[in-house]
Amino acid sequence: MRGSHLSRTRTLTAVLALATAGTVALSGCGQQKQTVGTAPAPKKQDAFERRADQLVRDWPKVSPVTGRQQALLPLVGADRPKDKGVREITVTVGHSACDVHFGARSHESKDLVVITGWGKRKSNKGMCTEQLATDKVTVRLKTALDGRKVVDAATGKQLLKG
- Write out the chain's pLDDT in tens, 162 residues: 555 444 444 444 444 444 444 444 444 455 555 545 566 667 788 999 999 999 999 999 999 998 878 889 999 999 999 898 999 999 999 988 888 899 999 999 999 999 999 998 876 667 777 788 899 999 999 999 999 999 999 999 999 765
Same domain for 58 and 13 = no
Same domain for 141 and 82 = yes
Its pTM stands at 0.70
Same domain for 129 and 101 = yes
Q: Which domain holds residue 11?
A: 2-37
SS3 124: coil
Can you list the positions of beta strands (E) in the chain?
23-27, 33-37, 75-78, 88-96, 99-108, 112-121, 132-140, 149-152, 158-161
Distance CA 26, CA 35 (A): 6
pLDDT in tens, 78-115: 999 989 899 999 999 998 888 889 999 999 999 999 99
Does the residue 125 lie in any domain?
yes
Same domain for 52 and 29 = no
